[in-house]
Amino acid sequence: MQPCPAVPLSNGLRVPVLGLGTSHDGGYSHEAVVYALQECGIRHIDTAKRYGCEEALARSISESKVPHEDLWITTKLWPGDYGYQSTKQACRASAARLGVEYVDLYLIHWPDCTVPGRSNREVRADTWRALEEMYDEGLCRSIGVSNFLISHLEELKEDCGVVPHVNQVEFHPFQQPWELVEYCRREGIAFEGYCPLAKGQALNHPLILELAKKYNRSASQICIRWSIQNGVITIPKSTKPHRILENCKVFGFMLSEEDMASIERLHTDRKLIHLTYPLWNG
Ligand SMILES: NC(=O)C1=CN([C@@H]2O[C@H](COP(=O)(O)OP(=O)(O)OC[C@H]3O[C@@H](n4cnc5c(N)ncnc54)[C@H](OP(=O)(O)O)[C@@H]3O)[C@@H](O)[C@H]2O)C=CC1
Ligand SMILES: O=C1CO[C@H](CO)[C@@H](O)[C@@H]1O
């Protein structure tokens, strides 16, 4: 298997361009995560308090025997924890559940929140200040945001000091927010795409199937390769070891410019992911 390249962040740290998702949709598979680490060379895992699997992930990492210093672990702050003090508590609790001294990347999961008597903008700024301090203290080696639009990033720029290292956003053949991608590039914010397979929905599309045939690859490999060739960090999820292995074999081929452009024409206005309520769930 070809090695996975890494993308440099504005703070000089390097993130493996391909990671493994662990969202609660479809459940958590200990065997699959251990296999990803031991057999597929996965060194980047994306999780969140919301996914409820941080403790399970700690057990899988421990069993894999891959040391934390060789791994990139991202976790996220859920809106119910926004605010200066509660953010710090939530991050320490995530690190404790993950069994780590520090997290490699800590993200504000959504821009939205509901704190009575306070604007979302004020709450986001307080929350971000807590992340900035945890970054300075080393509890978070990088800090970032998720699902932020240009307007949220512009406000944060006015209100706070550290520019987010990463913005993690929905990105797949049916959802291509190019204006946001370009904005992040200009501002030095690494763009990370989630749902690279459109939750599996892209795998049956006739164009993706046609390209899979043309390149003698699977539909998932075409989608993942397309994200990576666009310079986007990507985190497909599977609970099946053989599919994780398949999803990692994306570095030995290139899609032509023409085929990249043909996938670009699949964009729709429809997002698959929306913030799920209540925001304060555990
Ligand atoms: N910041 C945010 O708000 C969000 C972040 N995320 C992150 O992004 C990750 C990826 O997104 P996710 O929602 O999981 O969706 P993906 O686009 O990664 O698709 C996952 C689905 O595709 C299936 N699949 C995976 N590989 C293959 C394959 N080779 N062949 C056929 N089917 C396959 C999986 O099924 P099976 O398990 O059965 O293989 C699963 O149903 C999440 O796990 C999470 O970490 C996701 C949503 C929102
Ligand atoms: O990361 C996520 C995983 O999926 C959830 C929906 O099921 C989202 O709310 C969330 O942002």
Q: What is the pLDDT of residues 163-221, one digit of tens each?
A: 999 999 999 999 999 999 999 999 999 999 999 999 999 999 999 999 999 999 999 99
Residue 276 CA: which ligand 2 atom is closest? 9
Q: Does ligand 2 come within 6 angstroms of the Cβ of 273?
A: yes
* Ligand 2 pocket member 272 (CB < 6 A): no
- What average pLDDT does range 143-147 have in this prediction? 98
User: pLDDT tens, 123-135?
Assistant: 999 999 999 999 9
Active site residue 51: yes
47 lines ligand 2 (CB under 6 A): no
Task: Please say whether the beta carbons of 79 and 109 come within 8 A.
Answer: yes
With residue 158 as reference, give the H or E element that holds it: helix 150-159
Q: How confident is the model at residue 278 (pLDDT cuts 50, 70, 90)?
A: low
Cα gap 242→222, rounded to integer Å? 17
Q: What number is the average pLDDT over the span 151-169?
A: 97
pLDDT of residue 282: 44
Render pLDDT for 226-241 as a digit per residue (tens, 0 to 9): 999 999 999 999 999 9
Catalytic residue among 35, 51, 82, 106: 51
* Residues 105-118, mean pLDDT to the nearest whole number: 93
Higher pLDDT, 61 or 115: 61
Supply the pLDDT for residue 219.
99
User: Is 109 flagged in the annotation as binding?
Assistant: yes
Number of Cβ atoms within 10 Å of the Cβ of 38: 14
Q: Which atom, in ligand 1's list, is nearest to the CA of 29?
A: 37
Q: Which residues line ligand 1 (CB under 6 A)?
A: 21-23, 25-26, 46, 109, 146-147, 168, 194-200, 203, 218, 220, 235-240, 243, 246-247, 273
Mean pLDDT of the chain, nearest integer: 96
- Mean pLDDT (whole number) for 45-60: 98
Mean of pLDDT values over 111-118:
90
**Letter for the amino acid at 89?**
Q
Q: How far apart (Å, rounded) are the C-alpha atoms in residues 19 and 36?
A: 10
**Residue to probe by mutation, ligand 2, list 20, 22, 23, most atoms within 8 Å of CB:** 23
Ligand nearest to the CA of 45: 1
Q: What share of the chain is helix, strand, coil (3-state, %, to 5)?
A: 45, 15, 40
Q: Which residues pair with 6 in a beta bridge?
A: 16
Q: Which domains does the chain have, with CATH numbers?
A: 14-199+231-239 (3.20.20.100)
Per-residue model confidence as pLDDT tens digits over 19-29: 999 999 999 99
Query: Which pLDDT tens digit goes with each residue over 73-83?
Result: 999 999 999 99
Q: In terms of C-beta density within 10 A (0-12 exposed, 13-18 middle, 19 or more buried), how is residue 98 classed?
A: buried
Q: What is the phi-psi region of residue 134: left when phi exceeds 0, alpha when psi lies from -120 to 50, beta otherwise?
A: alpha
Contact 169, 193 (CB under 8 A): yes
d(C-alpha 88, C-alpha 262), whole Å:
45
Cβ neighbour number for residue 198 with a 10 Å cutoff? 22
- As a whole number of angstroms, the distance between CA 150 and CA 200 comes to 28
The complex's ipTM works out to 0.98
Please tell me the residue having the least CA distance from ligand 1 atom 39.
Answer: 238
* pLDDT at res. 114: 83
Of 260, 265, 264, the C-alpha closest to 211 is 260
- Give the span between the Cα atoms of 144 and 107, in whole angstroms: 5
**pLDDT of 192:** 99
Query: Is residue 280 predicted with pLDDT exceeding 80?
Result: no
pTM score over 0.95: yes
